[in-house]
Structure 1
């Protein structure tokens, strides 16, 4: 299983989701990307790194990249952090490609299923975003390994 996580800039939510999914799905290949190119080549945002480290997730080696149409062929599943990310990823879908694109939270039970992961770069709530991402990563791991 190869999974791509996607957010806006690839410096907060998607690298955290990458690390959380790696922790819960160690046999899977996990990567992350952003829909925008502002932070390409940069490490995750320092406050997000600190929040993740407090939960045992090391983001320090990750570097931002932008999602590309080729990612639809590389990955079995693409998980997005909000509806804008989903729209932007879908706009890149090559004709005829059927790779599923789902919300990071789709594996959670109602009422949390499908809700957006708030962007802590703008909200400042790194711990809240991380907690939601980790719950979703655990739910995806349970779904994909059952």
Structure 2
């Protein structure tokens, strides 16, 4: 049912690329990509993943080095069966941009009691580590349901 999954955060340089990589590793037969709600506004389109996100992911055998940020658009959202966002507020942001996507938009931390995953951008390496572990746990939750 859910063959194509889009992982969404704000800038598409920290959380969503990490979530994308984790799901790709756990669900190799699914199509997984990521995008940002405000990548265009933040002038991040085409930018690589955050250096600390790349470093932390590499420590766990995930490669974010080829990632390039992209803006969430209606056309992009229409290509995916499931849109996973990092915070409850992102559901509203996605719905405001693309009302028809509401029915297929859920929290990445849905299986962890609807837990938000905080934004580590410009924060400590320790927070990136905590966020990575939360994303990894949530990705395993989704993988168990989608296999």
Which of 68, 85, 88 lines up with 1:83 in the alignment? 88
Task: Report how many aligned residue pairs link the two structures.
Answer: 140
Using the TM superposition, give the Cα deviation of residue 92 of structure 1 relative to its aligned residue in structure 2, in angstroms: 1.9
User: Cα–Cα, structure 1 residues 33 and 51, in superposed 2: closer, same or farther, change >3 Å?
Assistant: same
Deviation at 1:47, TM superposition (A): 0.6
Match of 1:107 among 78, 100, 111: 111
Return the match for 2:70 from 58, 65, 82: 65
Q: Matches of 1:34 and 1:132 in 2, distance apart?
A: 19
Structure 2 residue matching 1:120: 3-state secondary structure:
coil
Query: 1:12-69 deviations in whole A, cap 9, x for unaligned?
Result: 0000000000011000000000011221100000011000000100001110001001
CA distance in 2, matches of 1:72, 1:137: 20
**3-state SS, counterpart of residue 128 of structure 1:** helix
Deviation at 1:86, TM superposition (A): 1.6
Give the secondary structure class of the aligned counterpart of 2:33: strand
**Matching of residues 1-146 of structure 1 within 5 Å:** 1-36=3-38, 37=40, 38=42, 39-95=44-100, 99-108=103-112, 113-124=113-124, 125-145=127-147
- Deviations along 1:97-131, one digit per CA (max 9) or x if unpaired, are 565100000023xxxx2111011114421110000
CA RMSD of aligned residues (A): 1.4
Q: Distance between the aligned counterparts of 1:45 and 1:87, measured in 2?
A: 25
Query: Which runs of at least 4 in structure 1 moved beyond 4 Å after TM superposition?
Result: none
Contact 2:14–2:50 (Cα < 8 Å) also in 1: yes
1:94 Cα deviation (Å)? 4.7
